[in-house]
Amino acid sequence: MRIVPAILTDNPRDLKRMLAHAETFTDFVQIDFMDGDFVPSKSIGPEDLAEIEMSIGWEAHLMVKDPIGNLSSLNKEGLKRVIFHWEADPHREFIVSAIRDLGLAVGLAINPETALSQFAKFIPNIDSVLFLSVHPGFYGSPFVEEVLEKVREFRYRFPSTVIGIDGGVALDNIRRLKALNMDYACVGSRIFGHDDPHKSYEEFVKAAG
């Protein structure tokens, strides 16, 4: 199971600092965008990446009500995948088409309260599913245990779909997550809130290996 460092901040200077740290120990990160509407908090926006030269690959996690509006202003340098929320916008086919038109992979993020039955028929349209194991919007939110059963059922029904988990991932639960045959886990505050982000990342990699 791959460990993907997740960057969440409302400060452009912190964004640059966190990216600089990440470049020393990984070749891929997730950057979170929050609009203060779909989720209660607001983060940096796509415009804050405009002047940054990305030397590593990344995916954009759009915790926003208007994925298309944010998509159009993303810095595409190094961008591999765009993840939008099932719950955010009902025009999902249009969003998928817009992402694919940019030559990018499509990810679908699922909030803890959303049942598998609500989005199962949509899976053939996308490349990956990111299960939120916290209620999104804040670093360090508590882990929602009930999500694991949904992940287990999803893996059984869709064995070839790439799946990840995001939120509340810690060294004391990483082995349980790996046992569910997930492809990757996003780790935010427990890497970038650590005195030594590189060391923390390596501890997660070892635990997930």
pLDDT at 139 over 70: no
Phi, psi of 74 (to 5 degrees): -70, 140
Report, as an integer, the average pLDDT of 20-44: 95
Integer Cα distance of 183 and 165 in angstroms: 9
Q: How confident is the model at residue 136 (pLDDT cuts 50, 70, 90)?
A: confident
Number of domains comprising the chain: 1
Q: How confident is the model at residue 140 (pLDDT cuts 50, 70, 90)?
A: low
pLDDT at 137 over 70: no
- Comparing C-alpha atoms, which of 3, 16, 12 is closest to residue 55? 16
Q: Identify the burial level of 100 via C-beta atoms within 10 angstroms of its C-beta, where 0-12 means exposed, 13-18 middle and 19 or more buried.
A: middle
The pair of structure tokens assigned to 101 is 């038109």
> What DSSP assignment string belongs to 133-165?
SS-SSSTTPPP-TTHHHHHHHHHHH-TTSEEEE
Integer Cα distance of 73 and 93 in angstroms: 20
Q: Please check whether residue 20 is in contact with residue 12, taking contact to mean a CB–CB distance below 8 angstroms.
A: no
Q: The pTM is what?
A: 0.95
The count of other CB atoms within 10 Å of the CB of residue 13 is 9
166: containing domain:
2-208
Report, as an integer, the average pLDDT of 95-121: 97
Q: What is the CATH number of the domain that holds 6?
A: 3.20.20.70
Continuous segment of H or E residues that includes residue 80: strand 79-85
